[in-house]
Amino acid sequence: MKSKFLPVVLLLLTAKINAQEQVIKKTNDIAEMEKQSREKRINNGLVSLASGNFTVHYYKCEWKINPSKNYITGKVTPHFIITGATSSLVFDLSNALRVDSVYMRKTKLLFSQASNQTLTIQLPSAYANGSMDSLSIFYQGAPIGGGFGSFVKSTHNGKPVIWTLSEPYGARDWWPCRNGLDDKADSIDIDIIHPTKYKASSNGMLVSTVLKGKNITSSFRHRYPIASYLVALAVTNFSTFTDSVQLGNKKMPVISNIYPEDSATFHSTIYMTLNALQLYNNKFTQYPFVNERYGQTQFGWGGGMEHQTNSFITSNGENLVTHELAHQWFGDKITCGSWQDIWLNEGFATYCADFLYPENNNVAQYKQNVKSDLDYIVSAPYGSVKVDDTTNTNRIFDGRLSYDKGAFLLRMLRFTMTDSAFFKGIRDYLGDPLLQYNFARTADLQRNLEAASGLNLTYFFNQWYAGQGYPSFTVQWSQNATNQANITISQTTSHASVSFFQVPLQLKFKNATQEKTILVQHTVNNQLDIEDIGFKADTVLIDPDNYLISKNNKSIKLASVKTVADLNISVAPNPFTDRINVTLQDKAAGKKVMLQLFDNAGQSVATNTGTTTGSRSSYMLATPRNLSPGNYVLRVTVDGKTTIHNVIKK
């Protein structure tokens, strides 16, 4: 789903869209967020209340829809498997809809509806674990849309339209189902009965249209696992156009249902969808529903929604159509296993839409998108990708956190892991037998990325997924006569949940004619690094290509380091055992002295500070007893001037 990167013209023209945008950005205000969350909890617990004693492996749905009227008449037949012995089943269903009857074959079953949006059905007898059966629920009513609409009657160009958008909790607003993120039906059949002057659009393949009096029954068949929130319908006077795309050795139809007034415009840009289908198919894994089709259906909500095999979109902007397409892999084939992990849907789709630009040789646009995403992410010093309140729809779909910061996590992972390991890890994730056509949590992605890279990424997910905020780097540097750079990297963090961000950090040394970029594994605060630059730099740029989330970085050039001889410093003994003595020839009073000992990884292992008194000349640095023998670097700073000494522990 996507609502925030709307074309500017649409934002100006459509007050409703603007309102949506406002709602999402407003969540940056903690007080507002907490207020909304409390209200939501009071209104209704936004969770699936379907009982855990069954799963549904197949739904047969028959829906009668006339877009002129906000009304649905339905018969839904779930085929279920009992997972815990029981004599009753609880489905999610809005109590705005009236259930007329429930039948199991010819037996009428007892049922009750409750104000917590549930339908409880008494089975004719106790069912043992593992038993399978089906029943049919007959219902009707005027749906009350929630969330992002769920069931909406509207108009376009004076013509009536009904469309659905059930994410995250809205499926129960118009059909009885299991509404949670714990059950995908293996397949679904959908019959939509509608007036002859309209067309219907839904999931999977349209296999027949049968005329019956003033109505047509449009029958859709879908033979892949599907979550309830990804089931959708739309009915209006659609224009249909069909294209095809070659995916490996398979030619697949791409079927679009667009409002007649916009059909030519949408068709003129369908190549963007076809190109992206091929690119994602080649880069990640085969299009997940290749035996059926992909399609787009126009609707009136301000954005797009990745209904399985059939994305609903408001416009034909490239970023929107590629975002919704990417969801077919990330969101539909593998669905987030909790709304806490929505970034597995939205972060990926946002990343994939941006990622197409350099693949299509539009690097400038890509850099611009990355920069604007970054600016938005760091516009507040807090907020985690992990959703901390899944009862609040606006928090789940927070554009700054679930979309942009989620996408940036993938960018940072790719940078941390290297390209080949990153894409292997993503392909392994998409093909993971435990996850494909099923649900995944963040730990499942981590497991696949770690296996592909050989890295332990726990620190990464603690910092960036669960943790909040960002680092601000300060790089102090100087160069000596042989162009060796002496670099100290320190950081502060914007939020107390992360005290230090371990990152690979790029530093670009440059002057008017030369530049050199070095990569430092920044693993500890006040880290010392020494690099041969090869020329005299005048500037150091921190993370110049925006690989990291950070803000307020400072690069400070220190006065040139004097040679050891200039400062008249002597270090003894070397090799040392447990202490190092530093002797200064300059005995002037009031100068600050700092001694720092670093190991080969740049980690500080001992420090001492003092102030010259005018009489003392010797300063002692005690070193830890358990220090391993080997090479160390001693940094001596006197009055802001630093010298570096290589020392050896015996």
Q: Which part of the chain contacts Zn ion (CB under 5 A), choosing from 99-107, 141-149, 339-347, 527-535?
A: 339-347
Residue (350 or 506) nearer to Zn ion, CB: 350
- Interaction of residue 353 with Zn ion, rule CB under 5 A: no
Residue (350 or 486) nearer to Zn ion, CB: 350
* Token reading at 395: 């928090």
Instruction: Give the integer Cα–Cα distance in Å for 183 and 99.
Output: 23
Do the bridges between strand 98-104 and strand 136-141 make them parallel or antiparallel, or are there none, so unpaired? antiparallel
Q: Which part of the chain contacts Zn ion (CB under 5 A), choosing from 115-123, 348-356, 495-503, 538-546?
A: 348-356
Query: Cβ of residue 168: shortest distance to Zn ion, in angstroms?
Result: 12
- Interaction of residue 2 with Zn ion, rule CB under 5 A: yes
- Cβ contacts of 403 within 8 Å, gap of 6 or more: 2, 4, 343, 346, 347, 350, 397
- Is the bond preceding 253 in cis, omega lying within 30 degrees of 0? no
Q: What is the dihedral of CA 147, 152, 154, 159, to 10 degrees?
A: 150
Query: Cβ of residue 327: shortest distance to Zn ion, in angstroms?
Result: 6
Q: Which part of the chain contacts Zn ion (CB under 5 A), choosing from 222-230, 261-269, 273-281, 341-349?
A: 341-349
Query: Cβ of residue 243: shortest distance to Zn ion, in angstroms?
Result: 23
Query: Cβ of residue 317: shortest distance to Zn ion, in angstroms?
Result: 13
- Interaction of residue 230 with Zn ion, rule CB under 5 A: no
- 3-class SS of residue 608: strand
E strand map for 213-277: 215-222, 226-227, 233-236, 239-247, 250-258
Query: Cβ of residue 349: shortest distance to Zn ion, in angstroms?
Result: 4
Instruction: Give the integer Cα–Cα distance in Å for 217 and 199.
Output: 10
Query: Cβ of residue 279: shortest distance to Zn ion, in angstroms?
Result: 18
Residue (2 or 411) nearer to Zn ion, CB: 2
**Within 10 A of 56 (CB to CB), how many other CB atoms are there?**
22
Query: Cβ of residue 481: shortest distance to Zn ion, in angstroms?
Result: 56
Residue (305 or 606) nearer to Zn ion, CB: 305
- Interaction of residue 1 with Zn ion, rule CB under 5 A: yes
Residue (346 or 398) nearer to Zn ion, CB: 346
Do the bridges between strand 250-258 and strand 294-298 make them parallel or antiparallel, or are there none, so unpaired? parallel
- Interaction of residue 349 with Zn ion, rule CB under 5 A: yes
Q: What is the dihedral of CA 381, 386, 388, 394, to 10 degrees?
A: 80
Instruction: Give the integer Cα–Cα distance in Å for 439 and 423.
Output: 20
Residue (442 or 642) nearer to Zn ion, CB: 442
Q: Which part of the chain contacts Zn ion (CB under 5 A), choosing from 66-74, 342-350, 417-425, 551-559?
A: 342-350
Residue (171 or 344) nearer to Zn ion, CB: 344
Residue (2 or 333) nearer to Zn ion, CB: 2
- 3-class SS of residue 340: helix
Residue (343 or 470) nearer to Zn ion, CB: 343
Query: Cβ of residue 347: shortest distance to Zn ion, in angstroms?
Result: 9
Query: Cβ of residue 323: shortest distance to Zn ion, in angstroms?
Result: 6
Q: Which part of the chain contacts Zn ion (CB under 5 A), choosing from 121-129, 340-348, 450-458, 489-497?
A: 340-348
Instruction: Give the integer Cα–Cα distance in Å for 43 and 146.
Output: 11
- Interaction of residue 72 with Zn ion, rule CB under 5 A: no
Query: Cβ of residue 2: shortest distance to Zn ion, in angstroms?
Result: 4
Residue (355 or 576) nearer to Zn ion, CB: 355
Query: Cβ of residue 328: shortest distance to Zn ion, in angstroms?
Result: 11
Q: Which of residues 257-296 bind Zn ion (CB under 5 A)?
A: none
Question: Given the structure tokens 């090479």, which residue do they identify?
Answer: 631
Sheet holding 630-638, edge to edge: 604-611, 592-598, 630-638, 641-649
- Interaction of residue 522 with Zn ion, rule CB under 5 A: no
Question: What phi, psi does 27 have (nearest 5°)?
Answer: -65, -10
Closest CA to 76 of 43, 121, 19, 116: 121
- 3-class SS of residue 73: strand
Instruction: Give the integer Cα–Cα distance in Å for 194 and 19.
Output: 32
Residue (93 or 349) nearer to Zn ion, CB: 349
Burial class (CB in 10 A: 0-12, 13-18, 19+), 109: middle
Instruction: Give how many residues touch Zn ion by CB under 5 A.
Output: 4
Q: Which part of the chain contacts Zn ion (CB under 5 A), choosing from 343-351, 416-424, 480-488, 542-550?
A: 343-351
429 sits in which H/E element:
helix 419-431
Residue (94 or 322) nearer to Zn ion, CB: 322
Residues making contact with Zn ion (CB under 5 A): 1-2, 346, 349
